[in-house]
Each structure stands twice: as structure tokens, then as C-alpha cells.
Amino acid sequence: MTSGKHTGAALCTALALFTTMTVARAEEPTSAHELGPVERAEVLFNRAMELSTEGRDPEACPMLEQSLALDPAMGTRYRLAECYERTNRREAAYRLYTEVAIEAKRAGMTDRESRARLRSEALSAMLARLVVWVPKDVAETPELEVTIDGRPLDRAAWTGDPLPVDLGEHVLEAMAPGRKPYRRVVPVHDTSVPIELSVPSLRGEHEAPPAPRIEVAIPTADASPKTAAPSTRTTAALVLGVGGAGAFLVGAGIAGVAAATDGLSGPTSATSAVGIGLGGASLVAAGILWFVTPSGKRKDSAAMTVVPTVGPLGGGFSLLGRF
């Protein structure tokens, strides 16, 4: 009897222990690998919110990205847009806010639509713009793909629709099977002026590049300013100046000789007056023409020199010129 009692007690103890272990195992949290996509997305979302509250947004954003990939919920998309905005990824935040506004409008969630649209509009003013043109003949390339920073552009954006981008360097690429890819790095430092880009034709893999164009400038006979003919004003000024100076000197010389030989006769006085008057008028006209002619046309086109002279009847000056 005693042995039977001990055996029964042992069985009861074992049964109680097994029951306790089973209940405890049932209460243990399920491994993350055993959760479904939606449950895993929720775990990642909650952890990301904790990190964000602690100010650790650079760590929170990747978790929100993983959560959104597992479960594309509108709330996750909105929180990820906020995380991008706080980490200065404005273009990505703008894109997500716009998506949330469209989705919220379809769902009739006016409050969330309004908040998302206000945030997207505020970010839009801080973004630069790229305008990508794909000419028709290039767009007809079979299986052509155009990307900005590795993200494919829809064909609707190949016709010059402005694309919002962050400030900094961006990479435009175009590729197609059997063609050499095109790649261009574009620095963007201004939000006020859109930058226009054009995708060229893609050469075949074995096609040689086009020969560079060589332009040769052939100088013309009148290209040198030293050989340029003087202007009409310059020539007229010189003719009037030389002729007027000559007439003036002749008239003055006659008057000087006559004064030295006891006065001027009537004809001599008239000749002297005519020479002096005509010469003075010519000199005045020559001066006017000379100074109204642009200096660039006078330079190297003509010159005058005053040379003193001595003769049997007295001294004077001579004007030597070239034109």
C-alpha cells in the first residue's frame, strides 16, 4: 500500500510538471520567423516608432521601409514620409506624401489627405526640377530604359515633365539591349531654374564613336584692322586740313611779305584775305570732321605732321599728311 501511494504521487507530480511546461511554452512569444508578413510589419513598425521617439530616425527609416514592403499600409507610408523629411530626404518624402494624399482621397479620409497634401506642397517649394527629353527617334529604341538615380522613369515623364529632385548630384542613365549605355552626372545647386536634359541616340555595342568635327577659320583680307581703309570722314578731314592749312599759310605769307615791303596793294590784299579766310574755314571744317569720326576709325588710318620751313622770303610751317 505504501508503495502504491508513492507511485501515484510520482505520477501526479510528473503530470503537473508536464502541464506547467506546456502552458509556459504556449505563453512564450512566437519567433519572428514564425510570424506572417502583416505581423512582422507591425513588429517593425512599432520598433521604428520607438526609435523615432528617441530621436534615432536614421535607424527608424530602414525599419519603416521594411514594414512598408511587407504591408503597404497608408499609415506606414505616412510615417515613413515624416522620417524621410526629418532626415532631409525631401524628394522621397514629397513623393510619399503625394501618394498618401491620393490614397486618402480615394478612401474618403479628408483629414489625412489635407495633412499629406500640405506637407507635399511645402516640400515642393524646396526641391529643384529636372526636365528629361527623349526624342521620338530615341524613344523608339527597343526596350529602352531611362533612369534617374537608378529609379526608372515612366514613358510619360520622357516628354519634358518637370521631375522634383533634391539638391546635389543626380545621375541620368539610358540603356537598351545591344546598345552602349549613356550616363551623365548632373550637379543641381539651384531650385529656381529647371535643368533640361536630353537623351541622345544609343550607339551599337560595336559601333565606333563619331569622328570629332574640326573647324578651321580662314582669315579674310579685310580681317586685320591695320589694312582697313580709312573712313570717308577721315579722308575729307585730312584733305580739308591740308588744303586749308596751305591756303592759310599762303595768305599769311603774302601779308607778311607785303608788310615787310611797305604795305599791300589792292589785289595783293584781296588775295591775302581770301587765302587766310578760306584756309581758316577749311581748318575749322577739318577739325569738326576729325573729332566726330570714331577714334577706332581714325587710328592708324591717317597722320599729319607740322614741319617748320625757311625760304628766301621768310619762314613758316608746312603740314605733311598721309591718308
The per-residue pLDDT string of the chain (323 residues; one tens digit each, 9 = 90 and over) reads 444 544 455 445 544 544 444 444 444 444 555 789 999 999 999 999 999 999 999 999 999 999 999 999 999 999 999 999 999 999 999 999 999 999 999 999 999 999 999 999 999 999 999 999 999 999 999 999 999 999 999 888 888 888 999 999 999 999 999 999 999 999 998 888 889 999 999 988 777 666 666 655 555 555 444 444 555 655 665 655 556 566 556 666 656 655 655 555 556 566 656 555 665 665 566 566 556 566 555 554 445 554 445 444 444 545 455 54
Asked if 69 and 111 sit in the same domain, the reply is: yes
Residue 291 located in a structural domain: yes
Q: What is the phi-psi region of residue 88: left when phi exceeds 0, alpha when psi lies from -120 to 50, beta otherwise?
A: left
| 47: CATH | 1.25.40.10
Domain boundary among 124, 153, 187: 124
Domain boundary among 89, 124, 159: 124
Degrees to nearest 5, angle at CA 124 with 122 and 126: 85
User: Could you give the CA distance from residue 307 to residue 314 in angstroms, rounded to a whole number?
Assistant: 15
| 161: CATH | 2.60.40
Asked if 194 and 239 sit in the same domain, the reply is: no
Q: Contact 121/101 with Cβ under 8 angstroms?
A: no
Partners of 322 in beta bridges: 303
Phi, psi of 183 (to 5 degrees): -140, 135
Q: Give me the pLDDT at residue 159, please.
A: 85
- Continuous segment of H or E residues that includes residue 225: none
Pairing of strands 195-198, 182-188: unpaired
- Continuous segment of H or E residues that includes residue 210: none
Asked if 184 and 234 sit in the same domain, the reply is: no
Asked if 146 and 61 sit in the same domain, the reply is: no
Asked if 181 and 234 sit in the same domain, the reply is: no
How many domains is the chain partitioned into structurally?
Answer: 3
User: Could you give the CA distance from residue 130 to residue 189 in angstroms, rounded to a whole number?
Assistant: 12
Degrees to nearest 5, angle at CA 119 with 115 and 120: 115
Q: Give me the pLDDT at residue 58, please.
A: 96
Residue 242 located in a structural domain: yes
Q: Would you state the cell numbers that stand for residue 253, as one nine-digit string?
A: 605769307
State the residue range of the domain holding 68.
30-124
Asked if 119 and 147 sit in the same domain, the reply is: no
Asked if 142 and 120 sit in the same domain, the reply is: no
Residue 240 located in a structural domain: yes
The CA-atom distances, in angstroms, between 17 and each of 6, 9, 81, 246 are 17, 12, 51, 142
Residue 193 CA to chain centroid, in angstroms?
7
Asked if 119 and 52 sit in the same domain, the reply is: yes
User: Could you give the CA distance from residue 83 to residue 81 in angstroms, rounded to a whole number?
Assistant: 5
Asked if 171 and 243 sit in the same domain, the reply is: no
Q: Give me the pLDDT at residue 137, please.
A: 92
Asked if 254 and 309 sit in the same domain, the reply is: yes
Asked if 282 and 260 sit in the same domain, the reply is: yes
Residue 71 located in a structural domain: yes
Residue 296 located in a structural domain: yes
Residue 222 located in a structural domain: no
Asked if 193 and 255 sit in the same domain, the reply is: no
Per DSSP, helices labelled H in 87-200 are 90-107, 110-124, 136-139
User: Could you give the CA distance from residue 234 to residue 304 in angstroms, rounded to a whole number?
Assistant: 12
What DSSP designation does 45 have? H
Residue 139 located in a structural domain: yes
Residue 4 located in a structural domain: no
Phi, psi of 199 (to 5 degrees): -90, 120
Degrees to nearest 5, angle at CA 278 with 276 and 279: 65
Domain boundary among 198, 213, 238: 198
Per DSSP, helices labelled H in 166-265 are 232-260
